């Protein structure tokens, strides 16, 4: 057991810190209006996939310059092999990199492509697919969205109905029809990776295929979906006779379910949320301690102080769970069910923390406007962001089932 970083790891941490300080583009600041991202790894005030296409030239240039700076080091896809544009970092270094990026308050670039699609192609893709797609992701030039969910499927993902049929014998392409929903940042994506049904007669897990689809293909329509906050972090996608080359199939036909499960198994280290929560809690503590901070009428009661200390203890527990996942990844290459423990705990902590924080401001906790609100209404917003925490990436009920059946080996229902 070793809970302290080695000098090498500490040096790496300093290197990342210095890099973020020196290379983050001047002028690429947080957007006070941004309320797009629900991903725990994302930094408040930034939405990189949207910023990259922003109509504001300074924001657009900043987002692109930041991607280019990270790409130089292979830090968009830090765990990938160097030949595809990654940095070949170990799980623990990748953990340190993400932690320091969060601490520096700089946005993640190409998260879905780098963290989900990349490892999937490295494991199941053809050499042509890797060569065609990985370098673009690692350079921050092409962004991806994951089209798994469907309106009728939800947690029963395998019941998806989007159809793909071979256009004709020897045609070399599939014809895709159907609809996806809840696809994060789909409206900004260049490419989509989706699950489609190719054998309607087969048992539901066995008739699914994994396809890569160019978002600009004729017949693809993407429409943002507004959430309860008024933001549009995701979209629905309609496929109307979309032609997809067979060469864009990952894995064998009807084997897509297993490819997708592997993709979902490439769990994130999950450090982002912890740092984000820690930062906002530390602001809250500062706010309660300072009598002079304007616009910060905190309700400093013994009960509240006790509750904040509990949240702090839970945060440190969450940090341990996340570090433990990285440590396991480093030791055995795959995360165990403990990764689900970390995800589940973090999601519920998000909601507890939001309620505790909002409580500190009494009637001011209802201010949605950031201007003139204590702590720029951070907790008022967080309370609504957190509603999705126990749903996104699979509901916490599904996480519990994973822990029970895969981790504790309880019989499947």
Partner 1 sequence: MVDLTPTEEQRHIQAAAADLLAARSREAGARAVRAEPAGYSAELWKEMTGLGWPGLALPEEYGGADGGFLELCLLFEELGRHQVPSPLLTTMACAALPIARHGSAAQRAQWLRAVAQGRTLSYVRAAPRGDWNATGSDVVAEPAGQGFRLHGTALFVPYAGTADALLVIARTGGPEELTALLVDNAPPGVRCERLDVVGNDPHYRVDFTAVTVPGERAVGAVGSGRTVAGTAAELGAAATCAEMAGGAQGVLDMTVGHARRREQFGRPIGSFQAVQHHCANMAVDVLGSRLGAYESIWRLSQGLPATMEVSLAKAWGSEAYQRVCALGHQVHGAIGFTYEHDLHFFHRHAVASALAFGDADHHIARVTRYLGL
Distance of closest approach, residue 315 Cβ to partner 1, in angstroms: 10
Task: Write each residue from 72 to 111 as x if it is in contact with partner 1 (CB under 8 A), else as -, in one continuous string.
Answer: --------------------x-------------------
- In the complex with partner 1, the residue whose CB is nearer, 92 or 250, is 92
Is position 320 an interface residue for partner 1 (rule: CB under 8 A)?
A: yes
- Answer yes or no: are the C-beta atoms of 284 and 360 closer than 8 Å: yes
376 is catalytic: no
Is position 321 an interface residue for partner 1 (rule: CB under 8 A)?
A: yes
Distance of closest approach, residue 350 Cβ to partner 1, in angstroms: 15
CA distance 110 to 39: 12
| Helix, strand or coil, per DSSP, at residue 125 | coil
| Helix, strand or coil, per DSSP, at residue 192 | strand
Applying CB under 8 A, which of residues 223, 305, 368, 372 lies at the interface with partner 1?
A: 305
Applying CB under 8 A, which of residues 127, 216, 306, 333 lies at the interface with partner 1?
A: 306
Q: Using alpha carbons only, give the angle 275, 277, 278 rounded to the nearest 5 degrees.
A: 60
CA distance 165 to 263: 23
Please report where in the chains the tokens 């055995």 appear, as a residue: 332
Is position 301 an interface residue for partner 1 (rule: CB under 8 A)?
A: no
Please report where in the chains the tokens 């440590």 appear, as a residue: 327
Report the DSSP beta bridge partners of residue 237.
Answer: 180, 222
Choose one: 28-36, 58-66, 213-221, 392-400; the region binding partner 1 (CB under 8 A): 392-400
Is position 13 an interface residue for partner 1 (rule: CB under 8 A)?
A: no
| Helix, strand or coil, per DSSP, at residue 197 | strand
Is position 274 an interface residue for partner 1 (rule: CB under 8 A)?
A: no
Report the DSSP beta bridge partners of residue 192.
Answer: 145, 213
The strand pair at 208-214 and 249-250 is best described as: antiparallel
Task: Write each residue from 327 to 366 as x if it is in contact with partner 1 (CB under 8 A), else as -, in one continuous string.
Answer: xx-xx-----xx--x--xx---------------------
Distance of closest approach, residue 191 Cβ to partner 1, in angstroms: 35
CA distance 275 to 326: 15
Choose one: 25-33, 139-147, 155-163, 283-291; the region binding partner 1 (CB under 8 A): 283-291
Please report where in the chains the tokens 């080091």 appear, as a residue: 73
Task: Write each residue from 210 to 249 as x if it is in contact with partner 1 (CB under 8 A), else as -, in one continuous string.
Answer: ----------------------------------------
Residue 77: count other Cβ atoms within 10 Å of its Cβ: 31
Instruction: Compute CA distances 319 → 7, 106, 173, 340, 349, whole Å.
Output: 21, 19, 46, 14, 12
- Answer yes or no: are the C-beta atoms of 264 and 258 closer than 8 Å: no
DSSP string, 94-114: HHHHHHHHHHHT---SSHHII
Terminal CA-CA length for the chain: 37
Choose one: 17-25, 109-117, 382-390, 403-411; the region binding partner 1 (CB under 8 A): 403-411
- In the complex with partner 1, the residue whose CB is nearer, 202 or 410, is 410
Distance of closest approach, residue 9 Cβ to partner 1, in angstroms: 7
Applying CB under 8 A, which of residues 11, 289, 334, 366 lies at the interface with partner 1?
A: 289
Applying CB under 8 A, which of residues 309, 334, 366, 372 lies at the interface with partner 1?
A: 309
Q: Count residues near partner 1 (CB under 8 A).
A: 50
Report the DSSP beta bridge partners of residue 193.
Answer: 146, 212
In the region spanning residues 106 to 145, those forming contacts with partner 1, defined by CB under 8 A, are none
- Answer yes or no: are the C-beta atoms of 326 and 269 closer than 8 Å: yes
Minimal CA–CA distance to 222: which of 197, 247, 240, 244?
Answer: 240
Find the catalytic residue in 39, 236, 267, 376: 267
Is position 406 an interface residue for partner 1 (rule: CB under 8 A)?
A: no
Is position 292 an interface residue for partner 1 (rule: CB under 8 A)?
A: no
Minimal CA–CA distance to 110: which of 10, 178, 42?
Answer: 42
**Catalytic residue IDs:** 267
- Contact residues for partner 1, defined by CB under 8 A: 1-6, 9, 92, 285, 288-289, 300, 305-306, 308-310, 312-314, 316-317, 320-321, 323-324, 326-328, 330-331, 337-338, 341, 344-345, 397, 399-401, 403-405, 407-413
């Amino acid at each position: 057991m070793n809970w302290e970083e080695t000098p090498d790891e500490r040096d790496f941490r300093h290197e990342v810190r210095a890099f973020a300080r020196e290379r983050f583009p001047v002028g690429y600041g947080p957007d006070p209006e941004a309320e797009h991202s629900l991903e725990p790894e994302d930094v408040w005030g930034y939405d990189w996939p949207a910023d990259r296409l922003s109509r504001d030239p300074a924001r657009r240039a900043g987002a692109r310059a930041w991607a280019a700076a990270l790409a130089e080091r292979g830090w968009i896809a830090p765990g990938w092999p160097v030949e595809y544009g990654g940095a070949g970092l170990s799980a623990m270094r990748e953990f340190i990199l993400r932690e320091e990026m969060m601490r520096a308050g700089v946005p993640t670039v190409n998260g879905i492509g780098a963290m989900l699609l990349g490892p999937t192609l490295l494991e199941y893709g053809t050499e042509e697919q890797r060569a065609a797609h990985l370098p673009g992701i690692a350079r921050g030039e092409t962004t991806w969205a994951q089209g798994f969910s469907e309106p009728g499927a939800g947690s029963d993902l395998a019941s998806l109905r989007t159809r793909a049929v071979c256009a004709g014998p020897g045609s070399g392409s599939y014809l895709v029809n159907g609809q996806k929903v809840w696809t994060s940042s789909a409206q900004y994506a260049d490419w989509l990776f989706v699950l489609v049904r190719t054998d309607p007669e087969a048992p539901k897990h066995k008739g699914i295929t994994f396809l890569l689809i160019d978002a600009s293909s004729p017949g693809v329509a993407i429409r943002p979906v507004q959430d309860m906050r008024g933001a549009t972090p995701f979209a629905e996608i309609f496929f109307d006779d979309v032609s997809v080359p067979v060469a864009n199939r990952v894995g064998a036909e009807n084997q897509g379910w297993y490819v997708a499960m592997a993709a979902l198994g490439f769990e994130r280290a999950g450090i982002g949320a912890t740092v984000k929560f820690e930062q906002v809690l530390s602001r809250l503590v500062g706010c309660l301690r300072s009598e002079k901070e304007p616009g910060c009428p905190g309700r400093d009661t013994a009960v509240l102080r006790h509750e904040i200390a509990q949240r702090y203890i839970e945060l440190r527990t969450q940090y341990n769970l996340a570090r433990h996942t990285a440590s396991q990844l480093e030791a055995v290459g795959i995360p165990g069910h403990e990764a689900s423990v970390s995800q589940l705990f973090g999601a519920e902590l998000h909601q507890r923390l939001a309620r505790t924080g909002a409580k500190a401001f009494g009637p001011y906790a209802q201010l949605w406007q950031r201007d003139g609100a204590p702590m720029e209404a951070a907790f008022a917003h967080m309370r609504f962001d957190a509603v999705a925490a126990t749903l996104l990436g699979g509901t916490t009920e599904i996480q519990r089932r994973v822990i029970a059946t895969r981790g504790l080996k309880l019989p499947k229902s």
